[in-house]
Amino acid sequence: MLHSYETDGAAIYTASFATIRAEADLARFTPEEEVVAVRMIHASGMVELAPHIRFAPGFAVKARAALEAGAPVLCDARMVSEGITRARLPAGNAVICTLQDPAVPELAARIGNTRSAAAVELWRPHLEGAVVAIGNAPTALFHLLNLLKDPAFPRPAAIIGCPVGFIGAAESKAALAADDPAPWCVVDGRLGGSAITVAAVNALASRKE
Amino acid sequence: MLHSYETDGAAIYTASFATIRAEADLARFTPEEEVVAVRMIHASGMVELAPHIRFAPGFAVKARAALEAGAPVLCDARMVSEGITRARLPAGNAVICTLQDPAVPELAARIGNTRSAAAVELWRPHLEGAVVAIGNAPTALFHLLNLLKDPAFPRPAAIIGCPVGFIGAAESKAALAADDPAPWCVVDGRLGGSAITVAAVNALASRKE
């Protein structure tokens, strides 16, 4: 016998978001933050993600405004840049991932860091006013924070900092919140990843759920 | 003051895998399954994923053998196909995602299903002996299972079934395990996603950790 299941994509989204709002504790979020948190939870499959999501004051409003004004999205990994739904972007925004740039391996060797960190060096001409989306590499976030110690370095409009994993991820996100170089969103601790990061961008890109 | 952190990619991997093996309960896995489970946990940032990972008998051995024999990898989403590390693939394997095929929207309307499910229809010429990697859409997995009810439909060598989310994900993975149309790997319940799915493929693709 064939399996019977919901085949209407819009109905699946609606039911998913309703389940999240019924089960997750979202009371501490502003309305602008709540829609971002709901999509991040949706991507993770975990209502237990909610208490780990933190926003700097004004992050959601400023990141959305930057996207609506045409800001590019700078991504640390192809899984992030490929996941962003182009049709949701409000201004035909550029989505940029420099990790596969042929200059990266040599640059990584020269600065004595990972390829993910070296790729951040190549963001410089795009960074002023951009939305940064880091969903994989703690070293990319740490390196960006070190570059931003220089007050002359270009400032992004907002930073989604959600690297995942066991070595450096929690520390890099704590450093982002402590340094506070631009409005930020993090998932505290080990959790994070490209899908959660993409979900935050997709939520900020369009008011349509 | 600049942040100080581990900048050696290989050292980060080694320390991550050591942390996972120290914290996660992996005793029930065979050695061939264990390396797959460790990478899936690594991608999720959660040692709590371990009890949710299930393998059909022989899955890891057969999926690895298929890749070594040159099997293509069929992916339900670009985040999956883009995440697979090409340098780890043992035989220059094709990595195929049909979701952006121009035929998909009309096909979805015709079969009354999601675009993700319609994209699975286009796998047919590649499916015999392939490794399937579903990390996003429960409808893709359900539709594949329904197509495989026909004994004449081509058989994949192995199915990684890890769709994520609140509507249909748990049910689709339970259906895969119950139907058992080919050796499978699932993450039970709501958890899953493209990163976990990519990690399974990357682990099976190379014996190098």
Q: How far apart are CA B79 and CA B82, in angstroms?
A: 5
pLDDT single digits (tens) B28-62: 999 999 999 999 999 999 999 999 999 999 999 99
What range does the domain containing A176 cover?
54-205
Chain B residue numbers touching A45 (CB-CB < 8 A): 164-166, 169, 189-193
Which chain B residue has the Cα nearest residue A191? B45
Q: List the single residue in A44, A167, A172 with the smallest CB-CB distance to B16.
A: A167
Question: What pLDDT, in 10s, does the model give residues B3-36?
Answer: 999 999 999 999 999 999 999 999 999 999 999 9
**A112: left (phi > 0), else alpha (psi -120 to 50), else beta?**
left
Task: Tally C-beta pairs within 8 A across A and B.
Answer: 135
pLDDT of amino acid B186? 98
pLDDT tens for B118-158 read 999 999 999 999 999 999 999 999 999 999 999 999 999 99
End-to-end CA distance of chain A: 34
Cα–Cα dist A192/A136, whole Å: 8
Segment A119-163, tens digit of pLDDT: 999 999 999 999 999 999 999 999 999 999 999 999 999 999 999
Q: Please give the tally of structural domains in chain A.
A: 1
Label residue A209 by pLDDT band (50, 70, 90): confident
Residue B25 lies in a domain: no
Q: B8, B20, B78, B79: which to substitute to probe chain A, counting the most A Cβ within 10 Å?
A: B79
A17 Cβ neighbours under 8 A, 6+ residues apart: A38, A42, A209
Is pLDDT of A113 > 90? yes
Structural contact between residues A77 and A83, judged by C-beta atoms closer than 8 angstroms: no
* DSSP code at position A64: H
**A35: which 2 tokens?**
């829609």
Query: What is the least distance, in Å, from the CA of B124 to any CA of chain A?
Result: 18
Domain with residue A167: its CATH number is 3.40.50.10230
Buried b (16+ CB within 10 A) or exposed e, A29-50: beebbbbbbbbbbbbbbbbebb
pLDDT tens for B193-206 read 999 999 999 999 99
State the pLDDT at residue A151. Answer: 94
Residues 6 or more apart from A76 whose CB is under 8 A from it? A97, A99, A116, A119, A120, A133, A134, A135, A136, A137, A140, A141, A163
Rounded distance between C-alpha atoms, residue A191 and residue A164, angstroms: 5
- Regarding beta strands A53-55 and A184-187, do their DSSP bridges make them parallel or antiparallel, or are they unpaired? antiparallel
In eight-state DSSP terms, residue B48 is G
Report which secondary-structure segment, H or E, holds B78. Answer: helix B78-83
Question: CB-based contact (8 Å) between A195 and chain B?
Answer: yes
Sign of CA dihedral A82, A87, A91, A92: positive
Burial B67-94 (b: 16+ CB within 10 A, else e): bbeebbbbbbbbbbbbbbeeebbeeebe
> Touching check for A197 and chain B: CB below 8 Å?
no
Distance CA B26, CA B52 (A): 11
Q: Could you report the per-residue pLDDT of A37-91, keeping only the tens digit for each?
A: 999 999 999 999 999 999 999 999 999 999 999 999 999 999 999 999 999 999 9
Q: Is residue A49 part of a domain?
A: no
> Considering the domain boundaries, does residue A96 fall inside one?
yes
For B149, the closest of A2, A117, A190 (CB atoms) is A2
Is pTM beyond 0.90? Reply is yes
Collect all residues with Cβ–Cβ distance below 8 Å to A177 and sequence separation of at least 6.
A54, A56, A184, A186
Q: Are A148 and A155 in contact (CB under 8 A)?
A: yes
Give a yes or no: residue A47 inside a domain: no
At residue A155, the 3 state secondary structure works out as coil
List, in order, residues 6 or more apart from B195 with CB less than 8 Å away.
Answer: A79, A164, A193, A194, A195, B43, B44, B79, B83, B135
Per-residue pLDDT of B69-111, as tens digits, reads 999 999 999 999 999 999 999 999 999 999 999 999 999 999 9
What is the ipTM score, two decimals?
0.96
A5, B78: Cβ pair inside 8 Å? Answer: no
Cα–Cα distance for residue pair B36/A161, rounded to 1 Å: 27
Please tell me the predicted confidence (pLDDT) of residue B209: 85
